Amino acid sequence: MSSEMAMSKLPLKRALVAGGAGFIGSHLVDRLLAQGAEVVVLDNLQTGREANLRHLAADPQLTMIEADICDPLPASLKGQFSHIFNAACAASPPHYQADPEHTMLTNVLGTRNLLRRAEGDGARFLQTSTSEVYGDPEVHPQTEDYRGWVSCTGPRACYDEGKRAAETLAFDFARLGRADVRVVRIFNTYGPRMDPDDGRVVSNVICQALTGDPITVYGDGSQTRSFCYVDDLVEGILRLMAYDGQQPGPVNLGNPIELTVCDLIDRVVALTGSKSPLVTRPLPEDDPRRRKPDISLAQRLLRWEPKVSLQKGLEATTAYFAEELHSGQSRFNKLLSPALAAAE
């Protein structure tokens, strides 16, 4: 099933992308415009960057509105949308922990505002949820029916519990017939347009390798993640949004190839020829030990699986970061992660 074919039943005319100036959101905007949709981006530019949409500045099909989804949506947007994508939330631990109250409200109030807009417009609504709903999982790999092991009081809870509550809202709207919803659970994603100052492992390690700064290993580096290239992820998001079968539950999207943090560092060092030393930092509180998606549902429902190899993905991402660092725009390393800051 191609996303274009499936879209034909619910024509994609006008899409709202909350968080459309972000890393994942901006790639989604590219694809929607390429499909001929009109796109309105709502972004508060907390972690989104105008630079992510600069190449589209002259596109008459795109409108960018600087606004926070926690606030009432601009009245001018009423009745406009066939599809609403919610990709608005800081997603990197140091960023979402910087203002935890706002992170929680973005997911609860912000998601409610968008769901109500979807209800009013008769739009299909897609929520970008996260593997963080599984917390520090006891089930491996994680299937959608695993209910997770999440702290509701720890430093990650504002994001994890916020995203869980957003799923609850979305499925309540669906159950009550108020909106047609889709929920993707996104596992670690990487690629061009990540912010060098994002504070996540892929951006930190590549930028550190390129600048010769020490590469920061949190804990002993034996914890695992599974990294999906952004193009693959966006394809999966579009396929789920296009899916016309019975109301689906949440769907995992991610690359099931599991790596330790040390494995990832080895790959980046081999690719860049970096001479950066390794430096150990404390493992952040509640850092999940293992994470790997079971994607059999996405394979069955959407005929989706990742296509881009880690090697190709890391090459493209490294080339992008090299250009970013060269342009001197980045504040790289000015924003330290809590673990890094604690050790300084």
Q: What minimum distance in Å lies between the beta carbon of 283 and ligand UDP?
A: 6
Rounded Cα gap, residues 78 and 64, in angstroms? 16
Hey, is 66 helix, strand or coil? strand
Residue closer to ligand UDP by CB (options 83, 156) is 156
Hey, is 57 helix, strand or coil? coil
Residue from 40, 194, 201, 297 touching ligand UDP (CB under 6 A): that is: 201
Q: Which of 96, 134, 146, 159 is catalytic?
A: 159
Rounded Cα gap, residues 304 and 310, in angstroms? 17
Stretch that binds ligand UDP, among 57-65, 143-151, 160-168, 282-290 (CB under 6 A): 282-290
Residue closer to ligand UDP by CB (options 30, 197) is 197
DSSP string over 249-297: --EEES---EEEHHHHHHHHHHHHT--PPEEEEPPPTT--S---B--HH
Q: Among the residues of the chain, which ranges form H helices? A: 3-7, 23-34, 93-96, 100-105, 111-121, 157-175, 201-211, 230-242, 261-272, 296-302, 310-327, 338-343
Residue closer to ligand UDP by CB (options 201, 241) is 201
Mark whether 159 is an active-site residue.
yes
- Is residue 287 at the binding interface for ligand UDP, with CB under 6 A as the rule? yes
Binding mask 75-104 for ligand UDP (x = CB under 6 A): -----------------xx-----------
Stretch that binds ligand UDP, among 40-48, 73-81, 200-208, 246-254 (CB under 6 A): 200-208
Stretch that binds ligand UDP, among 33-41, 104-112, 167-175, 281-289 (CB under 6 A): 281-289
Q: What minimum distance in Å lies between the beta carbon of 243 and ligand UDP?
A: 26
Which pair of tokens denotes residue 210?
Answer: 């390129």
- Is residue 216 at the binding interface for ligand UDP, with CB under 6 A as the rule? yes
Residues within window 243-272 making contact with ligand UDP, judged by CB under 6 A: 261
Binding mask 128-157 for ligand UDP (x = CB under 6 A): ------------------------------
Residue 145 contacts by C-beta under 8 Å, 6 or more apart in sequence?
none
- Is residue 19 at the binding interface for ligand UDP, with CB under 6 A as the rule? no
Phi, psi of 37 (to 5 degrees): -80, 155
Rounded Cα gap, residues 183 and 125, in angstroms? 8
What sign does the dihedral 136-137-138-141 (CA atoms) show? negative
CA distances from 74 to 128, 145, 286, 332 (A): 22, 37, 38, 34
Catalytic residues: 159
Residues of this chain that interact with ligand UDP (CB under 6 A) are 92-93, 188, 200-201, 204, 216-218, 223, 225, 261, 283-284, 287
